Amino acid sequence: MENNRGTFWTRVGYSNVVLLKNGKSAILVDTGVKGNLAHILRFLKHKNTEPAELKLIVLTHTHHDHTGNLHELVKLTGAPVLVHQNEYENLKKGFTPIPKGMGFYTRFISGLGSIVVPRFASPKAFEAQLINHHEYDLNPFGIDAKIISTPGHTNGSQSVLVGDTLVAGDTFLNLGNGIIFPHFCNNPATLLHTWEMLFESGVKTVVPGHGKPFAVEKAIPELEKWKKKI
Ligand SMILES: [Zn+2]
């Protein structure tokens, strides 16, 4: 049956939500911008997925634009939530520090945000049931994939590797203005190491946190560019 197996994405607000599906098993990666529950439910329906078939919700990191609709989805699906150990406390407290901006303008916004609305980047508090300490096998949830740690955008950023496709959260962007390297970033040098590791790992396709999926080659010139800057 169509849509019975695969990796599907949809844009929820301005962030991507990804469905990993294998028959009656399904995993959702990220929960988008808040106020968009109806969109996510329509997306699931379109992919022949009952809310109760969601076995797990993986959060690539805990910024508010990736964790909206989380409480509602948990209520509806009963699925446990999995975060990286370095984001667990942030989610529990509902406070994620605003990452540093990479350019003058984003640095300005980030600095201003930290002063005016320190909770600007933060999720609604939630205590996750499952924690990834480094890698996490998703086969027990019926999906042949694994979570890997991809620190840099935040210290607890993680991605899902499905074959040679990386569901990356904000480890990669693909914005209309050509930005691939996240313009808000906790640790740019760490992120570049993460990119190098990923380029060597055989990843072919990236599903970014914002923007359309792309072939990984597109990001390689960016690596060289940012290595000189950082
Ligand atoms: Zn983010």
CA of 63 to the centre of ligand 1 (A): 5
pTM of the model: 0.92
State the distance from the centre of ligand 1 to the C-alpha of 88, rounded, in angstroms.
15
Structure token digits, residue 200? 């060597």
Query: Among 226, 150, 218, 153, which Cα is nearest to 186's?
Result: 153
Q: What is the extent of the structural domain holding 122?
A: 5-229
CA 2–ligand 1 middle distance (angstroms): 32
CATH number at residue 145: 3.60.15.10
Q: How many domains is the chain partitioned into structurally?
A: 1
- H runs (alpha helix) in the chain: 37-46, 64-67, 70-77, 85-93, 104-116, 188-200, 220-229
For residue 189, how far is its CA from the centre of ligand 1 (angstroms)? Answer: 16
**pLDDT beneath 50, residues of the chain:** none
CA of 134 to the centre of ligand 1 (A): 19
- Tens of pLDDT, residue by residue over 111-146, are 555 555 555 678 899 999 999 999 999 999 999 999
Residues 97-110 have pLDDT tens digits of: 767 666 655 665 55
For residue 52, the CA-to-ligand 1 centroid distance in Å is: 27
Q: How far is the CA of 160 from the centre of ligand 1 (A)?
A: 15
